[in-house]
């Protein structure tokens, strides 16, 4: 299993599976931050964005992700924006601080998603907001941790994964210590891989070699970027602002130690606390429209590696990047989008 | 255009009111742009046109920000429509320019855009023959919208359109891809790209004229604007009912563009260009066409094949693509540098920078 959606994207884009020998099958992992952000969080973002007192900001890919409700006039952030909601696209979280200072009369909410790759930048934003005493900025937090999800996949009853190509960018921040524990506990090879086609092929080859040799362990095949200790500055920042908690991944359910939450000193920045009505019975139009069912979309199985995008009856017919039924068809790192765009 | 009042000269709603204020704006700031041989402001201009087949095209221009590295909306509006004419193998002759100004637009910005239009018209060899000016209330425009229409003289007897594409034809691009789209994205999202990337916005007629002068039998031309190479080729494949087989390694993309795209999650084959086109030429004219286009960075990127698309794929693309009056589904296949094959599909939606 290649863990990261960026790797899946590169594998499909370059048609690397066409080069692999028979008997070797790649299972696409859950490493797409957009795809695993809980639908309930998207619904909360939609409700906030529809509030005229709020500026809702996030990364580009998030703006297209549908919530739980049926496709309709308010079913993603771009549509809420078209309907008059103030939705802004950020390229770095600190821009949210600028927005808050430019609009003191409004509440700026940053929908903070992503793995350990983007979490340090959110931590920096939280730290600055605290230091400056900004009162009109809050975080709708959906940061998740990758290794616990790998662990959950290994522990799952239908697991087929025999080796991991681990997400190079996450390891660049977190290092390889967590992976060592995973490899030892499940006696499974874990190869830290990059994103270029040659780097991916090399990581796959190392993984196969470890399996053939019967020596499951961690190998860093992305040494030009990843050091064993990761990035100590970023890790210290994460440690200061966030605590580890059990929490939901879209498609995977609750993952033990799988999410980040704000530590007490930063808790006042939590949008769910500031906007208490988010947790209450849905009374907002955007929330009221929400139905619990996700329809025919099988993204949960796709995200666990139990099904391939092409197995889905909706793939390429009723589900396309223009009219996505599930998040993996939306994100540039989603497996369904990669298959749709690249596979002949 | 928000913020505290300042001392900047701006467009007022009255500038569109039809009264003396409007007259002053047109006489002092705008009229000079128009090539008005009779020196009178009249409802329509009279043109002396050469005999032959004419091409006629129109396009609206909305871009944010109005000025970006290497260009602005004015340059884009002149060159864009002149290029559309060139893609019909027509020499651009006359353009109209209609301006929709938003109340509050700084006059100095308007002056810069008009000067840039004049320079672009000179570069394209066209005259700006007629036009119109309107003003809309603050908040009802994005500073400035421009619409241009153009007339050109077709300089080849053979049809140049997707239906003329034949299996065996060679596919060429006129230069490296992605600069314009990346320059706009950098300006819009305040990305500090190093090295900075400028738009490729440039007239295409000179290169087309050279192709025709060299005796190249051109079957189809398409400028690679919004949606980039991917969208343009998909349209050609569908409308022409053919399969386009491309060599990815042959498609020119500047290293700086490729690196920035990798970082941002953009595909250079989906980025807009404003000074690049694809030429589909007769099978045995590929070399001749390449000799014309190569000095400016052009390349031969693939060939046309009879359609062999599998049903599943064509059904998928047909459902996602536009309804076309073409002969068949058509598709674009790309052979990667590794020798594997993938689809090249049209871009869809809005290009947004990725998360990580």
H helices of chain B, where? 20-25, 73-86, 107-124, 179-188, 205-213, 228-240, 255-264, 286-293, 311-320
> Do the Cβ atoms of A81 and A74 come closer than 8 Å?
no
- Supply the CATH classification number for the domain B13-154: 3.30.1330.10
Compute the nearest-CA separation of B17 from chain A (Å): 29
| Whether A247 contacts A254, CB under 8 Å | yes
pLDDT the model gives residue B221: 98
Q: Are strands B170-173 and B277-281 parallel, antiparallel or unpaired?
A: antiparallel
CA torsion A324-A329-A331-A337 (nearest 10°) is -140
Reading chain A (344 residues) residue by residue, the pLDDT tens digits are 999 999 999 999 999 999 999 999 999 999 998 889 988 899 999 999 999 999 999 998 899 888 877 777 788 999 999 999 999 999 899 999 999 999 999 999 999 999 999 999 999 999 999 999 999 999 999 999 999 999 999 999 989 999 999 999 999 999 999 999 999 999 999 999 999 999 999 999 999 999 999 999 999 999 999 999 999 999 999 999 999 999 999 888 899 999 999 999 999 999 999 998 887 644 444 444 333 345 678 888 888 888 999 999 889 888 888 888 888 988 878 999 999 989 98
> Could you name the CATH architecture of B162-343?
Alpha-Beta Complex (3.90)
Give DSSP secondary structure letters for A210-270: HHHHT---EEES-TTT--TT--HHHHHHHHHHEEEEEEEETTTEEEEEEEEEE-GGGGGGB
Match 């020119």 to its residue by tokens: B252
Query: What's the pLDDT score for residue B318?
Result: 41
How close does chain A come to B348, measured CA to CA in Å?
7
Query: Looking at chain A, which residue has its C-alpha nearest residue B270?
Result: A341
Encode pLDDT of A107-152 as tens digits: 999 999 999 999 999 999 999 999 999 999 999 999 999 999 999 9
Inter-chain CB proximity A15 and B353 less than 8 Å = no
- For B311-337, the pLDDT digits (tens) are 334 334 443 433 333 345 789 999 998
* Separation of alpha carbons A279 and A234, rounded Å: 31
| Distance in angstroms (rounded) separating the CA atoms of residues A4 and A33 | 9
| Contact residues, chain B, for A63 at CB < 8 Å | 352
User: Which among B117, B143, B106, B90 is positioned nearest to B34, based on CA atoms?
Assistant: B117
Decide: A35 and A142 in contact? Cβ < 8 Å.
Answer: no
CB contact under 8 A, A322 and B352: no
Which residues in chain A are classed under CATH 3.40.50.11740? Answer: 36-145+232-288
- B-chain residues near A105 (CB < 8 A): none
Q: Which architecture does CATH list for A2-33+146-220?
A: 3-Layer(aba) Sandwich (3.40)
The domain A36-145+232-288 is placed in CATH, from the list 3.40.309.10, 3.40.50.170, 3.40.50.11740, 3.40.50.1240, at 3.40.50.11740
Per-residue confidence (pLDDT) for residue A281, from 0 to 100: 43
**Does residue B230 register a pLDDT over 90?**
yes
What DSSP character marks residue B89?
T
Q: What is the ipTM of this complex?
A: 0.70
pLDDT (tens digit per residue) in B280-292? 999 999 999 999 9
Q: Could you tell me where in chain A the CATH 3.40.50.11750 domains are found?
A: 2-33+146-220
The answer for residues whose C-beta is within 8 angstroms of residue B91's C-beta and 6 or more apart is B85, B125, B152, B153, B155, B205, B209
Residues of chain B positioned with their CB less than 8 A from the CB of A342: 342-343
Residues 6+ apart with CB under 8 A from A217: A180, A183, A184, A189, A190, A210
In this prediction, residue A325 carries a pLDDT of 82
What tens digit of pLDDT does each residue of B88-143 get?
Answer: 999 999 999 999 999 999 999 999 999 999 999 999 999 999 999 999 999 999 99
Q: What residues form DSSP beta bridges with B332?
A: B244
> Is B328 within 8 Å of B239 (Cβ atoms)?
no
End-to-end CA distance of chain B: 32
Residue B244 is inside which H or E element, if any?
strand B242-247
Hey, where are the domains in chain B? Answer: 13-154, 162-343
**Owner of token pair 């509440």:** A107
Cβ–Cβ < 8 Å for A121, A94: yes
C-alpha–C-alpha distance, residues A260 and A167, integer Å: 18
- Chain A residue numbers touching B340 (CB-CB < 8 A): 14-16, 18-19
The more confident residue out of B169 and B48 is: B169
Q: What is the pLDDT of residue A295?
A: 61
Topology match between the domains B13-154 and B162-343: no
Q: Is the pLDDT of residue B75 over 90?
A: yes
Q: What is the pLDDT of residue A163?
A: 97
pLDDT for position B317: 44
Residue B37, pLDDT score: 63
Is pLDDT of B353 > 90? no
pLDDT in tens, A60-88: 889 988 887 777 778 899 999 999 999 99
**DSSP state, residue B297:** T
User: CA B46, B48, B50 angle in degrees (round to 5)?
Assistant: 145
Please judge whether A14 and B336 are an interchain contact, meaning their C-beta atoms are less than 8 angstroms apart: yes
* pLDDT at residue B175 is higher than 90: yes
């Amino acid at each position: 299993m290649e863990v990261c959606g960026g790797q899946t994207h590169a594998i499909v884009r370059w048609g690397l599976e066409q080069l692999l020998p028979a008997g070797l099958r790649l299972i696409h992992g859950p490493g797409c931050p957009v795809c695993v952000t809980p639908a309930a969080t998207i619904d909360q973002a939609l409700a906030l964005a529809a509030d005229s007192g709020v500026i809702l900001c996030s990364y580009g890919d998030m703006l297209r992700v549908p919530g739980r409700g049926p496709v309709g006039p308010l079913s993603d952030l771009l549509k809420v924006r078209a309907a008059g909601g103030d939705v802004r696209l950020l390229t770095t979280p600190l821009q949210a601080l600028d927005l808050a200072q430019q609009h003191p009369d409004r509440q700026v909410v940053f929908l903070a998603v992503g793995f350990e790759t983007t979490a340090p930048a959110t931590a920096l934003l939280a730290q600055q907001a605290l230091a400056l005493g900004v009162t009109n900025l809050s975080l709708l937090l959906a940061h998740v941790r990758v290794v616990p999800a790998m662990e959950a996949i290994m522990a799952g009853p239908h697991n087929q994964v025999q080796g991991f190509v681990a997400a190079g960018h996450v390891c660049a921040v977190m290092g390889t210590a967590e992976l060592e524990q995973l490899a030892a506990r499940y006696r499974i090879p874990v190869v830290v891989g990059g994103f270029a086609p040659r780097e991916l092929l090399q990581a796959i080859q190392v993984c196969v070699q470890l399996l053939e040799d019967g020596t499951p362990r961690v190998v860093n095949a992305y040494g030009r970027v990843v050091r064993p200790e990761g990035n100590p500055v970023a890790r210290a920042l994460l440690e200061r602002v966030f605590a580890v908690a059990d929490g939901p991944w879209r498609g995977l359910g609750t993952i033990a130690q799988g999410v980040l939450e704000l530590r007490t000193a930063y808790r006042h920045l939590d949008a769910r606390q500031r906007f208490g009505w988010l947790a209450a019975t849905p009374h907002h139009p955007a929330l009221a429209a929400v139905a619990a069912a996700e329809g025919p979309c099988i993204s949960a199985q796709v995200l666990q590696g139990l099904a391939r995008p092409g197995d889905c009856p909706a793939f390429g017919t009723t589900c396309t990047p223009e009219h996505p039924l599930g998040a993996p068809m939306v994100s540039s790192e989603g497996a369904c989008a990669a298959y749709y765009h690249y596979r002949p | 255009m928000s913020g505290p009042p300042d001392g900047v000269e701006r467009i007022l709603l009255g500038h569109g009111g039809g009264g003396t204020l409007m007259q002053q704006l047109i006489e002092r700031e705008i009229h000079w742009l128009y090539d008005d041989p009779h020196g009178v402001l009249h409802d329509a201009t009279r043109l002396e046109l050469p005999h032959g087949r004419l091409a006629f095209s129109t396009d609206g221009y909305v871009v944010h920000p109005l000025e970006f590295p290497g260009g602005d909306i004015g340059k884009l509006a002149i060159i864009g429509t002149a290029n559309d004419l060139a893609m019909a193998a027509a020499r651009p002759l006359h353009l109209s320019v209609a301006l929709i100004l938003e109340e509050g637009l700084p006059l100095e910005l308007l002056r810069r855009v008009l000067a840039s239009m004049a320079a672009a018209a000179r570069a394209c060899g066209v005259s700006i023959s007629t036009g119109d000016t309107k003003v809309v209330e603050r908040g009802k425009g994005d500073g400035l919208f421009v619409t241009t229409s153009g007339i050109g003289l077709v300089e080849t007897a053979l049809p140049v359109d997707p239906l003329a594409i034949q299996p065996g034809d060679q596919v060429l691009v006129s230069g490296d891809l992605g600069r314009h789209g990346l320059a706009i994205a950098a300006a819009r999202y305040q990305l500090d790209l190093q090295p900075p990337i400028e738009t490729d916005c440039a007239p295409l007629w000179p290169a087309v004229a050279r192709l025709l002068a060299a005796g190249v039998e051109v079957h189809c031309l398409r400028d690679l604007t919004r949606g980039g190479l991917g969208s343009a080729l998909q349209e050609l494949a569908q409308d022409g009912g053919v399969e386009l087989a491309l060599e990815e390694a042959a498609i020119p993309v500047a290293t700086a563009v490729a690196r920035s795209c990798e970082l941002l999650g953009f595909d250079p084959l989906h980025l807009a260009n404003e000074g690049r086109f694809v030429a589909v030429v007769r099978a045995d004219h590929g070399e001749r066409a390449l000799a014309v286009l190569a000095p400016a960075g052009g390349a031969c990127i693939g060939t046309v094949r009879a359609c062999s698309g599998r049903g599943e794929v064509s059904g998928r693309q047909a459902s996602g693509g536009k309804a076309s009056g073409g002969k068949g589904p058509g598709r674009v296949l790309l052979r990667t540098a590794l020798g594997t094959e993938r689809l090249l599909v049209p871009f869809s939606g809005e290009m947004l920078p990725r998360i990580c």
